[in-house]
Amino acid sequence: MYLLRRKSQNHQEDDSAAQKEAQKEAQKEAKITELRAALGPLSGRSLKYCTDACLGRYLEARNWNLDKAKKMIEETLRWRATYKPEEIRWHEIAHEGETGKVSRASFHDRLGRTVLIMRPAMQNTNSPEGNVRHLVYLIENGILNLREGQEQMSWLIDFTGFSLNTNVSVKTARECINILQNHYPERLAVAFLYNPPRIFQAFWKAVKYFLDAKTFQKVKFVYPKGKESVELMKTFFDVENLPVEFGGQTTLKYDHEEFSRMMAQDDVKTAKLWGLDEKPCNIANGHMGAEVAPEPIATAAG
């Protein structure tokens, strides 16, 4: 009799939890509908950008405050209309990627999320604008390669050989953080800073104040001798996939020519996704062939 009562109670609890979850989802959908109405008519790329999932990310980033989310997304739409991240092509920023300072990994994390690998010691240019455009391109590329049902990506930052001489400036780091937080909300799942040296602490002190609370919580410092942090890495990544630089078992070698070919193929997908009429450029060693000029891109509304 007791067991029957217990089972009945468990069923009731399950039903109640399911009802609460359904109610929560319905409230979120209502908020998304409300935000779409508040934004008013959209066209062109702005309409394509503002999917329900996208509006949900902006609401999540602003704790479901409609006015704040509306302001945030309007600022992003203005930024995208000016910066045009979907128009950046690999041949324009390939020279920034020659050393593999930022690249998309060939593996995913345990939840099937895109992984970006960053190597601050491989910094090869002094161009703030070039560095920012390169990162924006790879964020867009990471999103393009998300598996179905996935919204976020993971970052792995390798500090092997790091020195303050090779690092980007605080100003450039701040701009990258602002773009990530303000224009790609809820796209970052976690950022693992693997074995940063002591000299990194001064830089970290300068940039951590630019991080909002949500982003700050996603930044994890991992040290090979720190058991807890290593275990945390294992909850996100399969050790067999993970490069040795991050305590894994795989050897990772950045091949610029191969990566460039992959990015050139993805550029075709990007153009198709955004309805941009382009001809593929000849890629040689990650650079556009001199005899091929990029096609002019017609600016879509929005």
192 shares a domain with 100: yes
Q: What is the mean pLDDT of the chain?
A: 88
In a domain, 44, yes or no: yes
Q: What is the pLDDT of residue 301?
A: 37
SS (H, E, C) the chain: CHHHHHHHHHHHHHHHHHHHHHHHHHHHHHHHHHHHHHHCCCCHHHHHHCCHHHHHHHHHHCCCCHHHHHHHHHHHHHHHHHHCHHHCCHHHHHHHHCCCCEEECCCCCCCCCEEEEECHHHCCCCCHHHHHHHHHHHHHHHHHCCCCCCCCEEEEEECCCCCCCCCCCHHHHHHHHHHHHHHCCCCEEEEEEECCCCCHHHHHHHHHHHCCHHHHHHEEEECCCCHHHHHHHHHHCCCCCCEHHHCCCECCCCCHHHHHHHHHHHHHHHHHHCCCCCCCCCEECCEECCCCCCCCCCCCCC
Instruction: Summarize pLDDT for 94-115 with one digit per residue, the tens.
Output: 999 999 999 999 999 999 999 9
In a domain, 270, yes or no: no
pTM: 0.85
pLDDT tens-digit map of 23-80: 888 999 999 999 999 999 999 999 999 999 999 999 999 999 999 999 999 999 999 9
Query: Residue 211 above 60 pLDDT?
Result: yes
User: Confidence class of residue 165 from pLDDT cuts 50, 70 and 90?
Assistant: confident
The answer on 69 and 203 residing in a single domain is no
Same domain, 59 and 146: no
The per-residue pLDDT for 20 is: 84
Query: What domain range includes position 39?
Result: 20-83
- If one counts the domains in the chain, the total is 2
Residues 239-278: tens digit of each pLDDT? 998 999 898 899 989 999 999 999 999 999 999 999 987 5
Statement: residue 286 has pLDDT above 50: no
pLDDT of 285 above 50: no
